[in-house]
Structure 1
Amino acid sequence: MTRDHRKILYIDLDNTMVDFGHRIEGLDPVVVDKYRGRMDEAPGIFALMRSMPGAIEAFTELSALFDTYLLSTAPWRNPSGWQHKVEWVHEHLGGEEDSPAYKRLILTHHKDLNRGDFLVDDRPNNGAERFEGEWIHFGSDRFPDWAAVLNYLRERA
């Protein structure tokens, strides 16, 4: 088996690929109150969320330029969240072998254990702040959206 010689790129899911805030806005107030401050523990929270603007197109383009993986953390106290993240990837990026996301989802609480060149993530937690490559802070002033991330990464492929 030959190793891919492209640079390795990891992309987070929540609030990077997945519009986490949109799903919360549509929840029953009773559920919101019950899980306040820990919404990622609400059952079924991930599966039906919409993608961030431009995220699907960006992932597709970047997958052609980089050895690209989805690197996300699933809530420890919500086991269904792990399943629903896989379901979201299947629904939005495809679950078939010809999908650029096929078997490219890594769920971990230790993102810094993954080796690579770039990590696009909205928060410096779960090891993102210690990632050995370059952390691209999605949603920051420098990288406010997928257009800015694409412009930056195209030149570094």
Structure 2
Amino acid sequence: MKTLKRIAVDMDGVLADTDSHFLTWYYNAYGVQIPYEQLVGKPEGEGFPDKGAAHKFAFTPGFFRSLPVMPGAVEVITELMKDYEIYIVSAAMEFPQSLPEKHAWLQEHFPFISWHNIVFCGDKSVINADYMIDDHPKNLDKFKGVAIMFNAAHNANINHHQRVNSWTDVLALLKSLN
């Protein structure tokens, strides 16, 4: 039996669209429409007039449970599961209420992923896979396999990892690597 290569896939900013969610929550809380471009190139949460807003939202019950799914994520993950072992790897310790919310979110949007393939952790440097798809360079910098950076506003000026802009790009890149 052929051993499948493993892909570690981040949740927030990769499977779930945190950028648009922060913008929506900011508008709902403050009544101010922030253009996406105002977030580009700034550390996560620092593109808002109220610098503590994103952190406050991340601690608010319901924030992680109501994240929108990144376009194409379900379809591409389904396709990749034919040729790879897929593990969802999410840092969930900083925001303790996010654990049950992230689990419920995965059950709703990715019910075909077994609980055996979900890893909630604090430090992703312990992850052993062939590929990691993540939006945070700090996670990719320590990764021993092939690091793939999923485009996000906060990583726009970082260029030391292979970048993908969409789930269509992920699929094309992985096909080209094998």
- TM-score strictly above 0.5: yes
Structure 1 Cα separation of the partners of residues 70 and 119 of structure 2: 19
**Does the 8 A contact of 2:140 with 2:149 survive in 1?**
no
SS of the residue aligned with 2:92? coil
Question: Counterpart of 2:170?
Answer: 149
Structure 1 Cα separation of the partners of residues 51 and 97 of structure 2: 17
Q: Please give the root-mean-square deviation of Cα atoms over the aligned residues, in Å.
A: 2.3
Question: Counterpart of 2:29?
Answer: 29
Q: How far apart are residue 155 of structure 1 and its match?
A: 3.5
Q: Which amino acid aligns with 2:125?
A: D
Instruction: Please give the per-residue CA displacement for 1:47-99, whole angstroms capped at 9, x wherever unaligned.
Output: 121111111111111111101100111152x32111100011001011xxxx1
* 1:1-157 to 2 correspondences below 5 Å: 5-27=3-25, 28-29=28-29, 35-38=52-55, 39-76=57-94, 78-94=95-111, 99=112, 101-103=113-115, 104-125=117-138, 127-139=139-151, 142-157=163-178
TM-score by length of 2: 0.74
Structure 1 Cα separation of the partners of residues 83 and 13 of structure 2: 23
**Does the 8 A contact of 1:35 with 1:41 survive in 2?**
no
**Does the 8 A contact of 2:132 with 2:147 survive in 1?**
yes
Structure 1 Cα separation of the partners of residues 98 and 89 of structure 2: 14
Structure 2 unaligned residues grouped into runs of 5+:
31-47
Structure 1 Cα separation of the partners of residues 9 and 73 of structure 2: 10
